[in-house]
Amino acid sequence: MQRLNLIIFGPPGAGKDTQVEKILEHFNTDPIETGAIIRDLVKSDTQIARQIKDTIARGDLVNDSIMEAIIKDRLKKVSAQSGLIMDGYPRTIKQAETFNLLLTFMDRKLDYVVFLDVPEDVLVSRLSQRKICSICGKTAFPQEENCSSCGGALEKRIDDNLESIKKRIINYNEKTAPIINFYRKRGLLLHIDGNKSPDEVTKEIFEGLKS
Ligand SMILES: [Zn+2]
């Protein structure tokens, strides 16, 4: 299998989790899902955990230096044979620049940034209905009553309240969206219409990765 280094990128609610799963079925790729790492981290009862918890519950971004420490630590665990797919990082231009350096240190280069483009009104409605597994963190589809992977009970994410959703979309537009141009200029952007069925989106992504 091909070793691909990817970023999956898009606004909150764009369907990144679902597409990462599809990519993992076809490529030897280590998923680095920063949202899950952070949600795990805040379960511990430390001062830093409480700080981060307040930050994400408000819909704000965890600051660059904390993110860098988390990512460095996680990248050390990626095996040399496997590719990687970043989900939830980088989220600012500064983080994108740092990530370039980290990849260079690992003797890797970024192959693609898969950008899932979804209109804002669709995002708000998706996020306000979203549930995740309380055990493994997998995102559930609306019709599911229990987690399809482990059978765990479903719950709302702490940041999926309407206030936080709006704030995250504003943050995304202000701080994260500029990354699109950053990667487009470097010829790495794979622009995908994310407002389609999950299977159609997957098909478009795979066609892009092959070309
Ligand atoms: Zn589960």
**Residue showing tokens 């990248």:** 75
Fold of the domain built from segment(s) 5-210: Rossmann fold (3.40.50)
Distance 157 CA to ligand 1 centre (A): 14
User: How far is the centre of ligand 1, averaged over its atoms, from the C-alpha of 52 (Å)?
Assistant: 23
CA of 16 to the centre of ligand 1 (A): 17
Residue 6: is its pLDDT beyond 70?
yes
pLDDT tens digit string along 90-124? 988 999 999 999 999 999 999 999 999 999 999 99
The mean pLDDT value of the chain amounts to 91
Confidence of residue 2 (pLDDT cuts 50, 70, 90): low
Residue 25 corresponds to which amino acid? E
182 CA from centroid of ligand 1 (Å): 35
Instruction: List the one residue out of 107, 115, 118, 117 whose CA is nearest residue 84.
Output: 107
Residue 125 Cα to ligand 1 midpoint, Å, equals 23
How do residues 19-75 score in pLDDT, each as one tens digit? 999 999 999 999 999 988 888 888 888 888 888 888 888 888 888 888 998 999 999
pTM summary value: 0.83
Contact call for residues 72 and 99 (beta carbons, < 8 A): no
pLDDT-above-70 percentage for the chain: 99
pLDDT at 141: 80
Q: Is the pLDDT of residue 211 over 80?
A: no
Report which secondary-structure segment, H or E, holds 116: strand 112-117
Whether 121 contacts 15, CB under 8 Å: no
Extents of the domains making up the chain: 5-210
Cβ count near 163 (within 10 Å): 11
- Both tokens of 118, joined, read 């979804």
* Cα(85)–Cα(151) distance, integer angstroms: 26
pLDDT bracket for residue 155 (50, 70, 90)? very high
Entry field: residues in the chain: 211
The C-alpha atoms of residue 37 and residue 70 are separated, in whole angstroms, by: 8
List the Cα angle 155/171/100 in 5-degree steps: 100
Residue that is written with structure tokens 């599809």 in the block: 22
Q: Which residues are catalytic?
A: 16, 91, 130, 157, 168
pLDDT of 161 strictly over 80: yes
Residue 148 CA to ligand 1 center (angstroms) comes to: 7
